[in-house]
Structure 1
Amino acid sequence: MTKPNTSKWTKYKLLRKSSKLRVNLPETAWLRESSFWRLIKKYGEVIIKPTGSYGGHGVIRIKKMDSSIYEVQDGATKKNFTQHSQLNAYIKKQASKNNIIQQRIPLATVNDRPFDLRVMVQRRLNSPWEVTGKLAKVAGKGYIVTNIRLSSGKVVSVEQVLKNSMLKKMRANDLLSQLDKVALHAAQKLSPYYPWVRTMGIDMALDKDGNVWIIEVNFIPMLELFLKLKDKSMFHKMKSFGKTKPRNK
């Protein structure tokens, strides 16, 4: 078997092979003018991001405001396109950067700020995968990305974010159980293609209806994010699985 690369696009295609996981994957395509118009017409809002970058860099949101206005948000900066020709030129420029386009998930929010989740899945040699930690990343004011450095967001416990979000009426235990189930299945699906990987940081999301989504899977996640939680026990547990090369994320 040819060794696959570790790009977002490749991992998405591998996860899509699982009929169980398809419902948890936002529709994603390689960015072209044709794929952009197909997805923006279908969903009204899309995310464009580099297939090889990490940490939220280069993530752009495009939203159809009405029949002739498209809002483009890059970081905290927003601008409108009213001419299809201008937007096509912009998309062509982004496509030249090896970007993918993805259905925008209507993320659950806390105080009107979107949040997503980092679920850590690890295994010891010849042992099954297990979930070793979870945290929530809340976007900074005015940002669409939850990356802490880019958006000045914050890290909180998953229990805290569920309690304070619009999802508080749902049973937290059910949501947590579903997150674990999907994360473990994703790790099990990817591991045959990447047998050397023993730690995965799976970025996941809950939409406003409590559905679970896989945003992307990182093979060299920054464990130190978990030091921002009051409870350090998850961090120490993850470190016990072996040292992971640090990476800025």
Structure 2
Amino acid sequence: MSKLSTSKWSKYKVMRKSKELRAYLPETAWLKESAFWRMMNKYDQVIIKPTGSYGGHGVIRFKKTEASEYELHDGAKKKTFRNQAQVNAYLKRKTGKSFIVQQRIRLATVKRRPFDLRVMVQRRPSSRWQVTGKLAKVAGAGFIVTNIRMSGGKVIPVEQAIQRSQLKTMRTEDLLAQLDKVALKSAAKLAPSYPWVKTMGIDMAFDKDGHVWIIEVNYAPMLELFLKLKDKSMFRKIKSFHKNK
């Protein structure tokens, strides 16, 4: 029996089967013209991204403007489409090429820059999943993606991101506990379908109301992100699990 695909779409479908996890998953569909407009009409903003890429490559936001036009935000570049026909012509070049369309989450921000979270969940052979580290990735100026290399953003401790954002009025301990809980549930749901995986880098986020979202799950996460934190203890812990996988 062949292994299940590790694409974003395949992992989303596995997690979507869990009633517990559904509340934390942005609505996602295979990119088709009909799915795109259904979501645009529902949310006014959507994300389009390739289902097999990493590092923020190919992630595009579409937003309906007050003038009833459509703004595309790709990297630091923006482009305006005047009507649906122009958008459809653009989508035609993307459909059929392994793209998904996803509800756009209005992420919490630090100095008006969106941030998301990398949560590391790992297990040793024959042991339970554990959260071994987490950090916040703050997008660079003008970017919607938080990938540090692409946007020129920065890595900071999660607690610091919370205290510098709209979430500072909420209890940090409660937010972190919810983050860990959802991360562990995600790993537990994915594990039976991907039994060889012992390390997951789960990209998660808080919206401006403090609700937790699962953005995507990476089975080959870049551990060196944790070296950008002043405190290296999380990196050492993550590496110790990684060596014994």
Q: Is the 8 A contact 1:220 1:244 kept in 2?
A: no
1:205-241: CA deviations, max 9, x gaps?
0000000000000000010000000000000001001
1:104-183 to structure 2, matched below 5 A, reads 104-183=104-183
The one-letter code sitting in structure 2 at the alignment partner of 1:108 is: A
Q: Is the 8 A contact 1:131 1:180 kept in 2?
A: yes
Which residue number in structure 2 is paired with residue 30 of structure 1? 30
SS at match of 2:56: coil
Bigger mean CA offset, 65-74 vs 46-55: 65-74
1:219 and 1:200 mapped to 2: Cα distance?
A: 5
Kindly state the Cα deviation for residue 66 of structure 1 after the two structures are TM-superposed: 3.2
Bigger mean CA offset, 74-83 vs 208-217: 74-83
Report the number of matched residues.
245
Which residue number in structure 1 is paired with residue 201 of structure 2? 201
1:55 and 1:16 mapped to 2: Cα distance?
A: 23
Kindly state the Cα deviation for residue 68 of structure 1 after the two structures are TM-superposed: 2.9
Bigger mean CA offset, 87-96 vs 229-238: 87-96
Identity of aligned residues (%): 69
1:92 and 1:9 mapped to 2: Cα distance?
A: 20
1:90-143: CA deviations, max 9, x gaps?
011122321000000000000000000000000000000000000000000000
1:65 and 1:101 mapped to 2: Cα distance?
A: 19
2:26 and 2:103 mapped to 1: Cα distance?
A: 5
Kindly state the Cα deviation for residue 244 of structure 1 after the two structures are TM-superposed: 9.3
TM-score by length of 1: 0.96
Please give the root-mean-square deviation of Cα atoms over the aligned residues, in Å: 1.3
Whether 1:226 aligns to 2:226 is yes
Runs of 4+ in 1 over 6 A off after TM superposition: none
1:94 and 1:39 mapped to 2: Cα distance?
A: 16
TM-score by length of 2: 0.98
1:143 and 1:77 mapped to 2: Cα distance?
A: 8
Q: Provide structure 2 residue ranges, at least 5 long, that are not aligned to the other structure.
A: none
Whether 1:189 aligns to 2:189 is yes
Kindly state the Cα deviation for residue 85 of structure 1 after the two structures are TM-superposed: 1.2
Which residue number in structure 1 is paired with residue 47 of structure 2? 47
